[in-house]
Protein backbone atom coordinates (compact mmCIF):
# COMPACT_ATOMS: atom_id res chain seq x y z
CA UNK A 1 0.00 0.00 0.00
CA UNK A 2 1.11 3.57 -0.66
CA UNK A 3 -0.31 6.70 0.93
CA UNK A 4 -1.10 9.85 -1.02
CA UNK A 5 1.85 11.54 0.68
CA UNK A 6 4.21 8.73 -0.30
CA UNK A 7 3.01 8.80 -3.91
CA UNK A 8 3.46 12.57 -4.09
CA UNK A 9 6.94 12.30 -2.54
CA UNK A 10 7.89 9.61 -5.09
CA UNK A 11 6.77 11.80 -8.00
CA UNK A 12 8.58 14.87 -6.70
CA UNK A 13 11.83 13.01 -6.11
CA UNK A 14 11.70 10.92 -9.28
CA UNK A 15 10.62 13.61 -11.77
CA UNK A 16 11.44 16.90 -10.03
CA UNK A 17 7.97 18.39 -10.51
CA UNK A 18 5.49 20.03 -8.15
CA UNK A 19 1.74 19.52 -7.93
CA UNK A 20 -0.45 21.80 -10.01
CA UNK A 21 -3.98 22.74 -8.88
CA UNK A 22 -5.97 23.62 -12.03
CA UNK A 23 -9.38 23.62 -10.30
CA UNK A 24 -10.17 25.80 -7.32
CA UNK A 25 -13.44 24.05 -6.52
CA UNK A 26 -12.22 20.44 -6.73
CA UNK A 27 -10.10 18.44 -4.33
CA UNK A 28 -7.81 17.36 -7.14
CA UNK A 29 -4.33 18.07 -8.43
CA UNK A 30 -2.13 17.00 -11.31
CA UNK A 31 1.52 16.48 -12.05
CA UNK A 32 2.79 17.73 -15.40
CA UNK A 33 5.92 17.36 -17.46
CA UNK A 34 8.20 20.36 -17.04
CA UNK A 35 8.55 21.08 -20.76
CA UNK A 36 5.36 19.95 -22.51
CA UNK A 37 3.09 20.64 -19.49
CA UNK A 38 1.19 17.43 -20.28
CA UNK A 39 -0.38 15.64 -17.34
CA UNK A 40 0.98 12.26 -16.38
CA UNK A 41 -0.79 11.85 -13.06
CA UNK A 42 -4.06 13.13 -11.60
CA UNK A 43 -5.00 12.74 -7.93
CA UNK A 44 -8.69 13.08 -6.98
CA UNK A 45 -10.85 12.47 -3.93
CA UNK A 46 -14.12 11.03 -5.22
CA UNK A 47 -17.09 9.04 -3.91
CA UNK A 48 -16.23 5.33 -4.16
CA UNK A 49 -19.52 4.64 -5.93
CA UNK A 50 -18.23 6.63 -8.95
CA UNK A 51 -16.00 3.63 -9.64
CA UNK A 52 -18.91 1.23 -9.23
CA UNK A 53 -17.97 0.30 -5.67
CA UNK A 54 -20.78 -0.37 -3.22
CA UNK A 55 -19.41 2.07 -0.65
CA UNK A 56 -20.56 5.42 0.65
CA UNK A 57 -17.09 6.86 1.33
CA UNK A 58 -14.71 9.32 -0.27
CA UNK A 59 -11.56 7.70 -1.62
CA UNK A 60 -8.37 8.96 -3.23
CA UNK A 61 -7.73 7.74 -6.76
CA UNK A 62 -4.79 8.30 -9.07
CA UNK A 63 -5.39 8.44 -12.80
CA UNK A 64 -2.48 7.27 -14.94
CA UNK A 65 -1.99 6.69 -18.63
CA UNK A 66 -1.56 2.98 -19.33
CA UNK A 67 -0.48 1.22 -22.52
CA UNK A 68 -3.44 -0.19 -24.42
CA UNK A 69 -1.65 -3.54 -24.59
CA UNK A 70 -1.69 -3.81 -20.79
CA UNK A 71 -5.04 -2.20 -20.01
CA UNK A 72 -7.18 -5.34 -19.89
CA UNK A 73 -4.69 -7.16 -17.65
CA UNK A 74 -4.41 -4.15 -15.36
CA UNK A 75 -8.18 -3.93 -15.00
CA UNK A 76 -8.18 -7.46 -13.57
CA UNK A 77 -6.02 -6.27 -10.66
CA UNK A 78 -7.70 -5.36 -7.39
CA UNK A 79 -8.08 -1.60 -7.02
CA UNK A 80 -7.62 -0.72 -10.71
CA UNK A 81 -10.61 0.58 -12.69
CA UNK A 82 -11.44 2.24 -15.99
CA UNK A 83 -10.45 5.88 -15.56
CA UNK A 84 -12.87 8.12 -13.75
CA UNK A 85 -13.54 11.33 -15.70
CA UNK A 86 -10.90 10.65 -18.40
CA UNK A 87 -10.54 8.66 -21.61
CA UNK A 88 -11.12 5.07 -20.52
CA UNK A 89 -9.21 3.66 -23.50
CA UNK A 90 -5.95 5.27 -22.41
CA UNK A 91 -6.22 5.96 -18.68
CA UNK A 92 -6.87 3.93 -15.54
CA UNK A 93 -7.87 4.88 -11.99
CA UNK A 94 -6.18 3.29 -9.01
CA UNK A 95 -7.82 3.19 -5.58
CA UNK A 96 -4.92 4.24 -3.36
CA UNK A 97 -6.24 2.11 -0.48
CA UNK A 98 -5.56 -1.01 -2.53
CA UNK A 99 -2.60 0.03 -4.68
CA UNK A 100 0.50 -2.12 -4.44
CA UNK A 101 3.47 0.23 -3.86
CA UNK A 102 5.81 -1.35 -6.41
CA UNK A 103 3.09 -1.67 -9.06
CA UNK A 104 2.06 1.94 -8.49
CA UNK A 105 5.65 3.13 -8.96
CA UNK A 106 5.94 1.15 -12.20
CA UNK A 107 2.61 2.51 -13.46
CA UNK A 108 3.60 6.09 -12.58
CA UNK A 109 6.86 5.60 -14.50
CA UNK A 110 4.97 4.21 -17.50
CA UNK A 111 2.49 7.10 -17.45
CA UNK A 112 5.35 9.60 -17.24
CA UNK A 113 7.06 8.04 -20.26
CA UNK A 114 3.81 7.63 -22.23
CA UNK A 115 2.86 11.29 -21.89
CA UNK A 116 6.23 12.96 -22.34
CA UNK A 117 8.29 14.27 -25.18
CA UNK A 118 11.94 13.24 -25.46
CA UNK A 119 13.04 16.59 -24.05
CA UNK A 120 10.70 16.05 -21.03
CA UNK A 121 12.43 12.82 -20.09
Report CA 83 to chain centroid distance, whole Å. 9
Total-model pTM = 0.90
> Could you tell me the pLDDT band of residue 25, with boundaries at 50, 70 and 90?
confident
Average pLDDT for 44-65: 93
Task: Residue count of the chain, please give it.
Answer: 121
77-119 residue pLDDT tens: 989 999 988 878 889 999 999 988 899 999 999 999 999 876 6
Report all structural domains of the chain as residue ranges with CATH numbers, in order of start: 4-115 (3.90.1150.30)
Amino acid sequence: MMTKEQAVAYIKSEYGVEADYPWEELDAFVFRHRVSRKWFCLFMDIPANRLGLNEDTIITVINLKAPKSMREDLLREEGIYPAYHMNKQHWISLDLRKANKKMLEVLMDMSFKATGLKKDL
